[in-house]
Structure 1
Amino acid sequence: MVGLYVYKNYLNVDNEGNPIEKASPHKNLITTVLNANATSAMKELFDTVIFNYSKPIELLKIITSFIKFSSSDIILDFFAGSGTTGQAVMELNKEDGGSRKFICVQLPEKTEENSEAFKAGYKTIAEISKERIRRAAKKIEAEVKEQLSDLPLSSEGQGKEHQDLGFKVYKLKESNFKIWRCDMVPSEEELKSGVDLFENPLKAGAKEENVFLELLLKSGYALNVKTKIIEADNAKIYAVNDNKLIVCLEKVSDKIISKILELKPARCLILDSLFGRRDSFKTNTVLQLKDAEIDLVVI
């Protein structure tokens, strides 16, 4: 763990007013970074200061450089603010060829209506975080291209243009699936009515992409796992982690089941509502996948 210390050097007295002699600063005190640098960095990206009291990029880079990273390590900032951590990690990777990753978490805290951020169209601090990382990535990409244009083709610097500057944004929301509460049903009649409503387990308005991401998490996969969309019978099926998991959210047919058998996943998730009232087809699907040693989960 990296410790940061605040050093106070009083003029003549301590907190109780007793005379003291000035002490020397701690040897591990970081004195090379000014808070004013943070303001300059924001102006460089936005042409104005839309976030006050952000952390200096140089300070985050110094702290990050103290840590020995492996390729799978992640820097987590639970109070992302303007997104300084994200920019610092990308810049440090550019400088030393590292592959550090970052996760920045920020509540959608509203900006003040009289602030420069609000006037510029950023209604929440989270929007500032996202935009700063986008702009910082474009800035780094341009800097790398400029550096490489001055290098010979045989230079060791070639290849830096492949630095990963992409990132994804997710919002924490309620489940896309209806919640079954049998303990809240007062009568048999309402129980039957509730069962009928659950023929489609998804809430009204649930977006397919969000449903897929939720199922991905519930299946134990990370949000950055390798995913591709495969077309089959005029419908999309999601292939995860080199076809280890297949997810069907649009349609189920003989052609789609044949495609799943061809892909040979370890597990397959299919919405029960896609079978409709085709009970025999559903039974055959279960048996086919079982024979192929594919774990089928009907949701």
Structure 2
Amino acid sequence: MDKLKMHSLNLAQENIARLRELFPGCVTEARGEDGNATLAIDFDQLRQELSDVVVEGPQERYHLNWPGKREALLTANAPIAKTLRPCRRESVDFDTTKNLFIEGDNLEALKLLQETYLGKVKLIYIDPPYNTGRDFVYEDDFASSAAEYFSKSSQVDEERNRLVLNSEANGRFHSDWMSMIFPRLKLARNLLKDDGLIFISIDDNEVARMRSICDEVFGSENFVACIVWQKTLTRRNDARLFSSAHEYVLVYARDIGKAKIERVEADEKQRATYANRDNDPRGDWLPIPFHAPNIRPNLTYPITTPGGRVLMPPAGRCWSTTQEKFKELVADNRIYFGKDGNGMAQRKKFWAEREDGMVPWTWWPFDYAGENREATKELKDLFDDENPFDAPKPTKLIRRILNLVAAQDGDIFLDFFAGSGTSAHALMAANAEDGINRRFIAVQVAESCSEDSEAHRKGFPTISAITLERLRRCGKEVLSSSGHDDWKRDVGFRLLQIDTSNMADVFYSPDALNQGTLMGLTDNIKPDRTPEDLLFQVMLDWGVDLALPIAKQTIQGKDVYFVDSNALAACFDGHGGVDEDFVKELAKVQPLRVVFRDAGFKDSSVKINVEQIFKLLSPATEVKCI
């Protein structure tokens, strides 16, 4: 019977497998640090495969590089022996919600989500650290050798601080920030659907480097827009040269050919440009110049106005249609020559005939997308006139982003720098208004609040504690509204906390144990872990949606967990009580997948016969054990 691997994907090996499909001659075998054979890339051969000339050595080329880039790439690819442990007590509507809140390092979270949500996320929004010299960047330590991997990634270092201050005095000031963001964006790209989009808030400090990194990760051809957001109306006279009033929102597509940006409603100023200047029965219209660039002979001809004036296109331009089409437009009263009938030809664009909405533009002023003071007020209104979080984003900004992305029920919105929880708050409010039941996955590290901060004084030891409390409070606020008829009123979330694997060290590195150590081992699962802890690690390993409904039933005195009715059945009985009668009873349910504990079988003959029983009674069931 096959065993579940119980750790995140080894993306390096996944990438090698993909390359093997394209260039089988470039994949060879090498001996790993554990002495076993493993697949490896023949890079010299690969370079030759990708070139139409003989490759003899390094070639000059345009590319992005910085100290630590290779380590950052290794960081993105290296697997981790971590898991997500459910916390029912801190969750809201755990059994019914489709939303997830993950507490822990977002790099680890993105690794753990790879198998389950690969290519399933519709929209990502992040507001990462801006690298001002005062904020924090993540100090990742996954770039270890293969020999160090299992020992490090499955243990907790109580003294290790996951966050470090990145001072401008640091000689690697920009490099460290780039090494932080690069692997996270690479992993995030994997999660996007083919028509998915990512929106990234950033300021002047790192916008150029962020765009360069995004060009490499997503491809420069998938750049969509650089939005300028007016973040404040307050001018700072203590600024040295200029007072900054804006930030940026970079937009990239997973595949620009499949991405779509929705049109936006016309504002009052845009509507006011339309008027009925000649009492046309078709209503208000906007005059559009009739001339165009790129001179063509068939578009250059004389036009005689109703007043008798002869017109030719302006210098360097031509008319926008042929003479035959022009005559049709005149006959249909779609050409305007001014009040006196002798003005330059203009084409009528009728309000009633326009496409629904307007093409969005890249300037988002404060009255359109909110500003900083508005965001602070939103938090104060939720937290009894207290402000527990510095520099939150306004929900209005996120609502504008949501309005640009065509969505349907079940679409996933990911924010892996959740901060105060603005994104999830905005999504709940949007769902209530338009009746589209989007889901969110929010990730926030449990960064400690300063002891002299207002948040700490109010009983919030970590940033994630603030986020969780905001989601509870804003959920109640949104729920108090009437909402759209199609809204399912989901304002809950399952809290999942990143922790070391449920599996004991012997599961990952049995060769490291001696006979004396083995004498003290009776199980391969850590003693403090619950059956539900095991269930979520199995769901991660098997790529099962972590928000699916979970039910517990008792069959022949043993607890069995069923995920989404029969998507997965799990029995974690570890007392040798699983016999053939129990297995036959469970097989009658015909689950798609079933998992047992090694220590749960009555004897070795039962373990051997399990797969045969399922082949007979439920042949479609995939059987594994831990």
**TM-score scaled by length of structure 1:** 0.80
Residue 227 of structure 2 corresponds to residue 4 of structure 1: yes
Match of 2:546 in 1: 223
Q: Which runs of 4+ in 1 moved over 4 A?
A: 6-10, 157-160, 192-199
Alpha-carbon separation, structure 2, partners of 1:99 and 1:261? 35
Q: State the alpha-carbon separation in 1 of the partners of residues 460 and 491 from structure 2.
A: 22
2:608 counterpart residue number: 283
Deviations along 1:153-190, one digit per CA (max 9) or x if unpaired, are xxxx5554x322121111111110123324435xxxx2
Letter in 1 for 2:605: S
Residue in structure 2 matched with residue 120 of structure 1 by the alignment: 458
Q: Over the residues paired in the alignment, what is the CA RMSD in angstroms?
A: 2.8
Select 1:210's aligned residue among 533, 552, 555.
Answer: 533
| 1:126-161 CA-partner distances (Å, limit 9, x unpaired) | 0111110111111111122xx7xxxxxxxxx5554x
Q: Which amino acid aligns with 1:176?
A: N
Residue 20 of structure 1: aligned partner: none
Out of 33, 38, 60, the residue aligned to residue 375 of structure 2 is 38
Partner of 1:154: none
* CA spacing shift, 1:135–1:280, aligned 2, 3 Å: same
Q: Which residue of 1 aligns with 2:393?
A: 55
Are 2:230 and 2:366, in contact at CA under 8 Å, matched by a contact in 1?
Answer: no
**Counterpart mapping for 1:122-137 below 5 A:** 122-137=460-475
Aligned residue in 2 for 1:163:
489
Does the C-alpha gap of structure 1 residues 29 and 283 become closer, same or farther in structure 2, counting only changes over 3 Å? closer
Structure 1 unaligned blocks of 5 or more: 18-25, 148-156
Match of 2:292 in 1: none
Conserved 8 A contact 1:268-1:295:
yes
Distance 1:66 1:284, change over 3 A: closer
Aligned residue type for 2:593: R
Is residue 178 from structure 1 mapped to residue 513 from structure 2 by the alignment?
no
% of aligned pairs identical? 28
Number of corresponding residues: 269
* Structure 2 counterparts to residues 100-119 of structure 1, below 5 A: 100-119=438-457
Specify which structure has the higher proportion of strand.
2
In structure 1, the partner of 2:42 is: none
Match of 1:4, SS state, is strand
Q: Do residues 247 (structure 1) and 575 (structure 2) align?
A: no
How far apart are the structure 1 equivalents of 2:376 and 2:606?
64
Between the aligned partners of 2:611 and 2:397, the Cα distance in structure 1 is 57
Paired residue for 2:561? Answer: 238
Aligned mates of 1:62, 1:50 — CA distance in 2: 25
Cα distance change of structure 1 residues 252 and 183 upon mapping to structure 2, 3 Å threshold: closer
CA shift at 1:230, angstroms?
1.8
Bigger shift: residues 128-137 or 198-207: 198-207
Contact 2:375–2:394, Cα closer than 8 Å, also in 1: yes
**Offset at 1:6?**
5.5
Residues in 2 aligned to 1:59 and 1:295: alpha-carbon distance in whole angstroms: 45
Deviations 1:102-132 (A, max 9, x none): 1211111111112221122110000111110
User: Quick one: distance in 1 between partners of 2:553 and 2:581?
Assistant: 13
SS in 2 for 1:113: coil
Change in Cα spacing, 1:2 to 1:91, as seen in structure 2 (3 Å) is farther
Q: Distance in 2 between matches of 1:31 and 1:38?
A: 11
Where in structure 2 are the equivalents of 1:17-28 lying within 5 Å?
28=363
For residue 3 of structure 1, what is the amino acid of its counterpart?
C
Q: Check whether the contact 2:227–2:362 (CA below 8 A) recurs between aligned residues.
A: no
| Aligned counterpart, 1:75 | 413
CA distance in 1, matches of 2:425, 2:362: 28
Larger displacement relative to structure 2 (96-105 or 120-129): 96-105
What are the Cα deviations for residues 186-239 of structure 1, in whole angstroms up to 9, with x where unaligned?
Answer: xxxx2x455555652102212221111001110111211233222212322111
**Residue 52 of structure 1 aligns to which amino acid in structure 2?**
D
Q: Is the contact made by 2:436 and 2:486 (CA closer than 8 Å) also made in structure 1?
A: no
| Pair 287,141 (structure 1): closer, same or farther in 2 beyond 3 Å | same
Rate the CA distance shift 1:27–1:117 in 2: closer, same or farther, 3 A. closer
Give the match for residue 269 of structure 1: 595
Specify the code of the residue in structure 1 equivalent to 2:499.
Answer: K
The residue number in structure 2 matching 1:22 is none
Distance 1:128 1:177 in 2: 31
1:290/1:296 contact within 8 Å kept: no
- Structure 1 pair 141–255 and aligned structure 2 pair: CA distance change class (3 A): farther
5+ long unaligned stretches in structure 2:
1-223, 243-360
The structure with more radius of gyration? 2
Kindly state the Cα deviation for residue 2 of structure 1 after the two structures are TM-superposed: 5.3
Instruction: Pick which of 81-90 and 51-60 moved more.
Output: 51-60
Alignment of 1:181-200 (within 5 A): 181-185=509-513, 190=514, 192-193=515-516, 199-200=522-523
Q: Is the 8 A contact 1:61 1:92 kept in 2?
A: yes
CA apart distance, 1:83:
0.4
TM (norm. structure 2) is: 0.40
Q: 1:88 aligns with which of 426, 436, 440?
A: 426
More helix, by proportion: 1
Q: Within 1, Cα distance between the matches of 2:389 and 2:408?
A: 32
Cα 1:89–1:49 change in 2 (3 A) is: same
Per the TM alignment, residue 281 of structure 1 is displaced from its structure 2 partner at its CA by 3.3
Question: Structure 2 CA distance, aligned partners of 1:142 and 1:2?
Answer: 36
